[in-house]
């Protein structure tokens, strides 16, 4: 261990302040961190060179968007025929699957009986975005993000998506208690096929 001469800088009321230098290894770390931080700031924060973090972030974001778009283009969302959706509205197994999915994904906004909470009432004959089963399918699949309705078309398997639309159609004219006030245009529900 190196011995230093005690050199007193100040003394006041018997309290002495010594001038003992910091160890060399600690000073080397301090100066090294200052030099490194300066170089880091010059390279990344001041955008010298093409390898900036922002440029890399933008490139990776564009790559991710392109890969998602390629998947969407390769797997288009093809709605089932309206007759299939209407037939599902009379099929107990399809209704059970749709009711299960509705309880997990839709009841928080539309109510347990589709009577409407923060989302519109799905049991009356009024619709904001069209009330045919095709239009209901498009609304569920594509959503209305500006109104808080997420797009479920890519999040749900196709059979659950179709069952959900069939379930919603089956809830029309059920008159649950405490329904939300009617909104939108009046649309007469399409008749269900004879069982």
* CA-to-CA dists, residue 188 to 12, 28, 41, 131, 175, angstroms: 96, 82, 66, 8, 15
Token readout for 152 is 């479920």
**Ordered alpha helix ranges (H), the chain:** 24-40, 53-74, 82-88, 92-105, 107-110, 133-142, 158-170
User: What pLDDT does 54 receive?
Assistant: 76
- Angle separating helix axes 92-105 and 158-170, nearest 10 degrees: 100
- Specify the 3-state DSSP secondary structure of 194: coil
User: What pLDDT does 15 receive?
Assistant: 84
pLDDT tens for the chain, 195 residues long, are 456 566 777 778 888 887 777 899 999 999 999 999 988 887 766 665 556 677 788 899 999 999 988 887 887 777 888 888 888 888 899 999 999 999 999 999 999 999 999 999 999 999 999 888 899 999 999 999 888 999 998 888 888 999 999 999 989 888 899 999 989 888 887 877 765
DSSP string over 131-155? -SHHHHHHHHHH-BGGGTB---TTT
- Domains of the chain by start residue, with CATH: 8-74 (no CATH), 82-186 (1.10.760.10)
User: What pLDDT does 191 receive?
Assistant: 77
User: What pLDDT does 5 receive?
Assistant: 61
pTM here is 0.63
User: What pLDDT does 121 receive?
Assistant: 93
């Amino acid at each position: 261990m190196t011995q230093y001469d005690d050199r007193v800088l100040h003394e006041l009321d018997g309290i002495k302040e010594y001038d003992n230098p910091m160890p060399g290894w600690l000073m080397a770390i301090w100066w090294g961190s200052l030099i490194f931080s300066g170089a880091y700031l010059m390279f990344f924060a001041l955008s010298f060179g093409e390898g900036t973090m922002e440029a890399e972030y933008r490139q990776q974001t564009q790559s991710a968007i392109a890969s998602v778009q390629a998947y969407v283009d390769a797997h288009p969302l093809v709605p089932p025929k309206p007759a299939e959706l209407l037939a599902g509205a009379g099929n107990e197994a399809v209704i059970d699957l749709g009711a299960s999915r509705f309880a997990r994904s839709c009841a928080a906004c539309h109510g347990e009986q589709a009577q409407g909470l923060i989302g519109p009432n799905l049991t009356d004959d009024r619709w904001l975005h069209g009330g045919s089963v095709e239009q209901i399918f498009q609304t569920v699949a594509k959503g209305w993000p500006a109104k808080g309705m997420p797009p479920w078309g890519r999040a749900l398997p196709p059979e659950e998506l179709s069952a959900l639309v069939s379930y919603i159609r089956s809830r029309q004219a059920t008159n649950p208690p405490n329904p939300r006030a009617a909104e939108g245009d009046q649309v007469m529900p399409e008749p269900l096929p004879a069982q």
